[in-house]
């Protein structure tokens, strides 16, 4: 082989190498990073289901007929025209579960905007902020009374007028906020990547108390029977006194707590990405049972018919009970599940990572219906 041939081969190898490297993740006109897709859960009001699709649309479905209540409402953001790329738009990833009142549906987007949509017509009522955008919003909105609350990756928690979208106050934490706020009475609870759980006055956003853990907090807190329960990335589940934020107890698992826990009849159920659901006494943190699902759990569970329904990331859905203590496999959807579960009238609604909405009978595990949300 001539030197020219050798050099040509070397050059070819180099180019191949670079093509391989660039092939890591380079969708057209995107920088090399994963594309956020979202994992919105479902909100149920009577027979109406509301959720954000992975195409960045607010979808409203009549649960009894599986028909759309109104045409999907698309949310788009400007796509910067990168190197050699024209400017355009792309779908907004929706991670938060929509919050619903009797008039409006509230939605937060990864594009850093919050929206309010008319529940009857799907018409946009307001958007916040009107100009520009915040940092990505991963948590969902929480609505209580005439206010809507949500946190942003810019570390701030916002309180807006639910009817107009005007900002009432904001509270700044030390790092990103990815969780959904929990509101109970006059107090709002929110965790932050700065490892703290904050208790704020809903009236003005002033700090009531704060509690620092050893890890970031993404999980939405649960307020139950005078205590606040939440998990942290330090692998602990915490129980704090609601009044002053003092520690009641903490319990260590093997990995992060990502999802919101659930309480029933004096027992708290917390799914961890260690693949187990930890059932503990709410008063003492004493272990009642540990259910091993053998797959990470990031979707918040629901209570249906006295049983705890929980989904593993692999798509396997279980029904757990303490008396008698059993782990019953309901259904395997064979589709990854990250979105929080929802329930109404004995039916479990599950939004899968393939953008399919499943309705599963909570008792038998039968799939009542499924609907692909992706537009044709």
Spatial separation of the C-alpha atoms in residues 318 and 307, rounded to whole Å = 10
Binding mask 325-344 for another protein (x = CB under 8 A): -------------x------
# chain residues binding another protein, by CB under 8 A: 51
> Under the criterion CB under 8 A, does residue 13 sit at the interface with another protein?
yes
Q: Report the 10 Å Cβ neighbour count for 272.
A: 25
> Under the criterion CB under 8 A, does residue 9 sit at the interface with another protein?
yes
The DSSP secondary-structure symbol of 13 reads: H
62/254 with CB nearer another protein: 254
Part of the chain binding another protein (CB under 8 A), chosen from 4-12, 44-52, 117-125, 320-328 = 4-12
Contact criterion met (CB below 8 Å) for 255 and 287: no
Of 83, 130, 145, 376, the residue at the interface with another protein (CB under 8 A) is 83
Of 101, 201, 255, 321, the residue at the interface with another protein (CB under 8 A) is 255
Part of the chain binding another protein (CB under 8 A), chosen from 11-19, 121-129, 239-247, 302-310 = 11-19
Site for another protein in 272-291 (CB under 8 A): 273
Binding mask 205-244 for another protein (x = CB under 8 A): ---------xxx----------------xxx---------
> Under the criterion CB under 8 A, does residue 118 sit at the interface with another protein?
no
Q: List all residues 6 or more positions away from 153 whose beta carbon is below 8 Å from its beta carbon.
A: 112, 134, 135, 136, 137, 138, 176, 177, 178
Contact criterion met (CB below 8 Å) for 56 and 93: yes
Part of the chain binding another protein (CB under 8 A), chosen from 28-36, 125-133, 179-187, 368-376 = 28-36
**Which structure tokens are listed for 295?**
């797959």
> Under the criterion CB under 8 A, does residue 20 sit at the interface with another protein?
yes
25/207 with CB nearer another protein: 25
> Under the criterion CB under 8 A, does residue 86 sit at the interface with another protein?
no
Is the CA virtual torsion 100, 105, 108, 109 positive or negative? positive
Of 39, 106, 198, 318, the residue at the interface with another protein (CB under 8 A) is 39
Contact criterion met (CB below 8 Å) for 79 and 29: yes
**Which structure tokens are listed for 74?**
């698309």
How does 213-250 read in b/e, with b if 16+ C-beta sit within 10 Å? beebbbbbbbbbeebbbbbbbbbbbbbbebeebeebbb
Of 51, 73, 94, 138, the residue at the interface with another protein (CB under 8 A) is 138
Q: In terms of Cα–Cα distance, which of 105, 168, 173 is closest to 140?
A: 105
**Which structure tokens are listed for 239?**
């129980």
Spatial separation of the C-alpha atoms in residues 313 and 336, rounded to whole Å = 5
Q: In terms of Cα–Cα distance, which of 309, 376, 296 is closest to 336?
A: 296
Minimum distance from CB of 97 to another protein (Å)?
A: 14
Minimum distance from CB of 18 to another protein (Å)?
A: 5
> Under the criterion CB under 8 A, does residue 102 sit at the interface with another protein?
no
> Under the criterion CB under 8 A, does residue 358 sit at the interface with another protein?
no
Q: In terms of Cα–Cα distance, which of 282, 258, 343, 357 is closest to 308?
A: 343
**Which structure tokens are listed for 66?**
């599986």
Q: Where along the sequence are the contacts to another protein (CB under 8 A)?
A: 1-4, 6-11, 13-15, 17-18, 20-22, 24-26, 31-37, 39, 82-83, 95, 138, 176, 178, 193, 195, 214-216, 233-235, 254-256, 258, 273, 296, 298, 338
């Amino acid at each position: 082989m001539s030197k020219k041939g050798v050099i040509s081969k070397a050059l070819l190898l180099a180019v191949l190498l670079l093509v391989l490297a660039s092939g890591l993740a380079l969708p057209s006109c995107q920088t090399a990073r994963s594309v956020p897709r979202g994992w919105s859960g479902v909100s149920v009001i009577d027979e109406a289901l509301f959720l954000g699709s992975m195409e960045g649309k607010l979808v409203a479905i009549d649960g009894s007929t599986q028909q759309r209540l109104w045409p999907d409402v698309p949310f788009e953001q400007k796509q910067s025209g990168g190197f050699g790329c024209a400017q355009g738009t792309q779908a907004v990833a929706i991670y938060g579960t929509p919050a619903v009142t009797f008039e409006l549906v509230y939605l937060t987007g990864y594009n850093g905007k919050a929206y309010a949509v008319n529940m009857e017509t799907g018409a946009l009522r307001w958007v916040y902020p009107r100009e520009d955008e915040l940092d990505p919003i991963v948590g969902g909105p929480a609505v209580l009374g005439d206010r809507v609350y949500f946190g942003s990756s810019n570390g701030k928690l916002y309180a807006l007028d639910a009817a107009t979208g005007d900002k009432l106050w904001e509270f700044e934490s030390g790092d990103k906020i990815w969780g959904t706020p929990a509101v109970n009475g006059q107090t709002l609870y929110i965790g932050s990547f700065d490892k703290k759980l904050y208790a704020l006055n809903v009236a003005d956003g002033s700090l009531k108390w704060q509690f620092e853990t050893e890890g970031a907090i993404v999980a939405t807190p649960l307020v139950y029977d005078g205590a606040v329960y939440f998990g942290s990335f330090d692998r602990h589940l915490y129980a704090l006194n609601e009044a002053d934020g003092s520690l009641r107890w903490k319990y260590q698992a093997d990995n992060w707590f990502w999802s919101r826990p659930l309480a029933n009849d004096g027992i708290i159920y917390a799914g961890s990405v260690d693949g187990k659901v930890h059932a503990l006494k709410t008063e003492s943190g004493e272990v009642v049972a540990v259910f091993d699902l053998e797959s990470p759990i990031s979707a918040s569970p629901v209570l249906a018919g006295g049983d705890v329904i929980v989904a593993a990331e692999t798509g396997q859905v279980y029904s757990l009970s303490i008396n008698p203590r059993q782990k019953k496999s309901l259904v395997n959807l064979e589709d990854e599940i990250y979105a929080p579960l929802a329930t109404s009238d004995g039916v479990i609604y599950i939004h899968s990572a393939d953008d399919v909405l499943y309705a599963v009978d909570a008792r038998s595990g039968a799939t009542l219906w499924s609907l692909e949300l992706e537009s044709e």
